Every structure is written in structure tokens, then in C-alpha cells.
Chains A and B, each alone.
Chain A
Amino acid sequence: MSIELDIEITDIRRLTDLIKDKYGYDFKDYAMSSFRRRIKRVIDIYKFKTVDKLIQVLDTTPTFFEEFISEITVNVTEMFRDPTFWRILKEQIIPNIILNHDRISIWHAGCSSGEEVLSMVIMLHEMGFLEKAKIMATDIDTAIINKAKTAAIPLKNMELNQKNYTSAFGSEGGQPLNLKKYFRDVGQESVFDKSLLQNVTYRKHDLVQGSVFSKFDLVLCRNVMIYFNQTLQNAVLAKLHESMFKYGYLAIGSKESLIWCDIANKFIVVNNEEKIYKKIKD
């Protein structure tokens, strides 16, 4: 049997303490099981061998920190992930907001490389509402935000993206929907039509330490809080709640749930299958 590095909880604590002291970020309440594995991964990638070595490098090499954040965070994403969610958004949620407001402000919290944002833009464009929208896309990971800004999707992911798009919206008038019409292939990437991104702002923002900066009609925070423990989920949910207009909507990932959060009673379930909630109390 090969020798395996065992990362103990006390090791993780020493690491998160150092990061907090030195860089001001707080990873203390990230979910232990995935966070431990991400640390193990960083140690393997950089061949540090021990947690102590990682701590030492973080302590002495500030330039390494952004890279560390980039590797620690999980950036896996898809366009139109959970197609049925997008269908409900298109048929029920968006029309409802426009009916009441005539405008729509949207926050993608934890947008990763931006696939979710492009999906939103395409959907709003096809509904004829893109001009009415203001979209904010944020993430803690600087490198991934910069990537999102380029709006370039690896060609190899386009097949899955097209599949999701088709199952979300089907075919219109017998013509199969073609995602490619929004992209131009350059080398190994499909680059999105940037003229459609005029109402989108990308910005670095930390959900844990960052402050509430605006209010929105619709907040998407999907597959982000799964990396937090329940204490932190509660704290972040309170921030999301504060960032929403009364009667605004919140969408979380399809396998997440609000029911055990402290302020669950300030929301009602709009669609349980797709995990869409509505804020009913301030």
C-alpha cells in the first residue's frame, strides 16, 4: 500500500488561521469533506508533500495566495445546468418579475467561469427582455472572474451546453435551437457575442467577508453554499436575503435546501423541484 498523506482537522485549522491573519479571508467554515480534499489536491499539484510546507509557502509568498484560491475553489459549471430550472425561469419567474417591475436586476453569486451568466443573457435576449435587465456576476476567485469576462467557452464543452439548451427550451417552430449562433469559434474556444453583454458587470466579491452591496429581483447562488458548513450557510443566506427586494426570488442548486436554515421562514417555496424561493419577509 502506498503511503497516503492524512490531513487532520487540526492541520486545516492552522491553515485557515494563517489565511485569516495574513490575507483576511475566512475559510474556517467551509465544509470539511470537500475543503480537506481541495487542500490535498493543492499539495499534490505543487508537490508540497505536507500541510506544513503549504502553510510555509502561503506565509512567505503572498503572490501564491491568488493561485491557492483558484485551486481551492470548485469552478465546474455548465450552460443551462438543470434544463428544467431554466424552463421554469423562462415561463414563470422572469415574466412575473417583468410584469411587476418592468425591469429586472439579477445577481449571479458564485458565477465561476460565467456559463450561468451567458445562459441568462441568451434566455433574456430570446424573450426580448435583455434591455430591461441589469446583471451582476461575482465570484471570490479573481482568475475565474477574468476568465468569465472573456466569455470564451472551451469547444469541448459545447456539446453538453447545446444538449442542455435544447432540453431546456426544446425546438421552436420545428427548427432545432442552435446555441452556436451566439458564438464564434476561435482555436479551441467558442467566443460569445460580446454585444449582448453590455448590461453585465463582472466583479470580484467574497460572500463570506464581503458586504451587501445592492438589492436584486433575482439572486442565483447555485452550487456555491454546498462548499460551506451549516453555520456559514446560515450567515451567507442572511446576506443573500438582505440583497433581495421583498418578493424577490432566490435560486439555489437542485440538491441544496433552505429548510434547516435559521431564516427559512422569511422565504416561501415557489418551486421545490427546481429550488426556487421567494422572499416574503424583510
Chain B
Amino acid sequence: MFSRYKVSGKYRAVVIGGSAGSFQGINKILAELPKEFPLPVFMCLHRLKHVRNGFVEALSIKSSKPVVEPYDKETIKRGQIYLAPANYHMSIELGNSIALSTEEMENNSRPAIDYTFETAAYVFRDKLVGILLSGANKDGAYGMMRIKQKGGLTIVQDPEESAINAMPNAALAQTKVDMILKVDQIIEFLLELDRACKMSQL
């Protein structure tokens, strides 16, 4: 099959960060994600701090599969979509599990994208894909740098397309990312990633 992005099948996880203006893009990505997507997806999206309910339901409506807010030390399942819960940082822990933390806010956010990205890079190293979408502050820029330093693949939403481009721009200023893509291209990329990983897991 035609391969535009030359995706390797070595990847074990995907992290996605987004903030203001990313909701539509996220919805579209989740709707197009294959039902049998073979990797876990960890999403850290800035959200209202003290609204515990509603967001995960809103995201699940159009998603090809349910989005879950994990419990602390929940075991990571392939193909599961995880959303960082309100008022907690979400990290990747040893022993194939997820950990939560109430630590200080970072970049005025809890959950913070840097937190999720940095811990995922630490555990998955060069087997991680990081995607940063539209947003209003610089959260995620440090995390993208860490993913790149560990050999992971970094993708930033095209600032031209981003509703609010402060976040993509901050990441681009800090790191020479691998790809700058529009949402539709990110979806194409994920479909290719899906095929490549399924091939290599055969």
C-alpha cells in the first residue's frame, strides 16, 4: 500500500496533547481511529479544573471506541484511549501501568501535557509517538523535546490550521520536530501507523 509517512511498526504508544481550540481536531481524530488500533493512546487535554464529569462523555460520543479516565495504577491495555482526569497529572508508571498525581500545576495546568509526555518518553523511549495540537500556552513544548531526545517521533499540528497556535509554535521553537501536519494528515498518519504496527505484531 502507498506509504506517505514511512511509518515504522516499532511504536508501542501514542500521546496526544491539546488545549484551547483542539477539541474539534481531537473529535475528528478519535472518530477516524480504527476500532482495532493496536497501541494505547494517552491524551492530556487542558480542561476545567473542577468539573469532574462530562468531558469524557463528550469525547466518547463521536469516538470509534470509548475514552476512559484511568484510575491510579490501572494496567495499560493495547488499543485503549486514556484521558487525563480533571485535577490530576497523568503519568506512565513502571510495570505497564498509569499513575496519577496531585502535584503542583505546571504551565498553569493540571493535568499538564509536559507531565504526561515526559513520563511517557521516559518509559517508551524511541517507541513513542507524540502529537501536539492547538493550544494557548507553552505546555507540551518541554514534553515534545523530551520525546525527541529519547528518539521518539514528534508531530505538531500545523500552526496555520490551529485555532490557537501558541502551543504548536512554542514546541516548534524549542524542538526540531519530525512532522508538521494538519488534522487530516495526522489521521492519515495514524491509519498508516495502525497498519505498520499490525504488520509487525503479526
Binding site for B on A (CB under 8 A): 1-2, 4, 9, 31-34, 36-37, 74, 76-77, 82, 160, 163-164, 223, 225-227, 229-230, 233, 253-257, 260
Please give, as numbers and ranges, the residues of chain A lying within 8 Å of B118 by CB-CB distance: 37
Please give, as numbers and ranges, the residues of chain A lying within 8 Å of B85 by CB-CB distance: 255
B95 pairs with A223, CB closer than 8 A: no
B145 pairs with A233, CB closer than 8 A: no
Asked if B50 CB lies within 8 Å of chain A CBs, one says yes
Please give, as numbers and ranges, the residues of chain A lying within 8 Å of B101 by CB-CB distance: 33-34, 74, 226-227
Task: Choose the segment among B65-73, B130-138, B188-196 that binds chain A (4+ C-beta atoms closer than 8 Å).
Answer: B65-73
* Interface band, chain B: 20 to 34
A257 pairs with B71, CB closer than 8 A: yes
A selection of 28 A-B contacts at a CB cut-off of 8 Å is A1-B149, A1-B174, A4-B145, A9-B94, A32-B93, A33-B92, A33-B99, A33-B122, A36-B122, A37-B115, A74-B103, A76-B103, A160-B50, A163-B50, A226-B72, A226-B99, A226-B100, A226-B102, A229-B95, A233-B73, A253-B72, A255-B70, A255-B71, A255-B72, A255-B88, A255-B100, A257-B72, A260-B73
Please give, as numbers and ranges, the residues of chain B lying within 8 Å of A233 by CB-CB distance: 73
Asked if B104 CB lies within 8 Å of chain A CBs, one says yes
Which residue among B101, B104, B119 has the maximum number of chain A CB atoms within 10 Å of its CB? B101
- C-alpha spacing A168/B74, complex, angstroms: 28
Asked if B91 CB lies within 8 Å of chain A CBs, one says yes
Please give, as numbers and ranges, the residues of chain A lying within 8 Å of B100 by CB-CB distance: 226, 255
Question: Which single member of B52, B73, B145, B148 contacts A254 (CB below 8 Å)?
Answer: B52
Known contacts A31-B93, A230-B73; can you find 5 more A-B pairs with CB under 8 A? A32-B93, A33-B122, A229-B73, A230-B95, A255-B72
Binding site for A on B (CB under 8 A): 50, 52, 69-74, 85, 88, 91-95, 97, 99-104, 115, 118-119, 122-123, 145-146, 148-149, 174-175
Q: Given A1-B149, A34-B91, verify A256-B102 contact (CB < 8 Å).
A: no
A82 pairs with B52, CB closer than 8 A: yes
- C-alpha spacing A32/B99, complex, angstroms: 9
Please give, as numbers and ranges, the residues of chain B lying within 8 Å of A77 by CB-CB distance: 102
Please give, as numbers and ranges, the residues of chain A lying within 8 Å of B91 by CB-CB distance: 33-34, 37
Question: Which single member of B69, B93, B148, B175 contacts A33 (CB below 8 Å)?
Answer: B93
Chain A residue, CB-CB nearest to B72: A226
Please give, as numbers and ranges, the residues of chain B lying within 8 Å of A31 by CB-CB distance: 73, 93, 99
**8 A-B pairs closest in CB distance:** A33-B91, A257-B71, A226-B72, A33-B119, A32-B94, A34-B101, A33-B93, A31-B99
- C-alpha spacing A151/B92, complex, angstroms: 35
A4 pairs with B146, CB closer than 8 A: yes
B175 pairs with A76, CB closer than 8 A: no
- C-alpha spacing A37/B101, complex, angstroms: 11
- C-alpha spacing A56/B101, complex, angstroms: 28
Which residue among B50, B97, B148 has the maximum number of chain A CB atoms within 10 Å of its CB? B50
B69 pairs with A255, CB closer than 8 A: yes
- C-alpha spacing A76/B122, complex, angstroms: 24
Q: Taking the nearest CB of chain B, how far is it from the CB of A77, in angstroms?
A: 8
Please give, as numbers and ranges, the residues of chain B lying within 8 Å of A160 by CB-CB distance: 50
Q: Given A226-B100, A257-B71, verify A1-B148 contact (CB < 8 Å).
A: yes
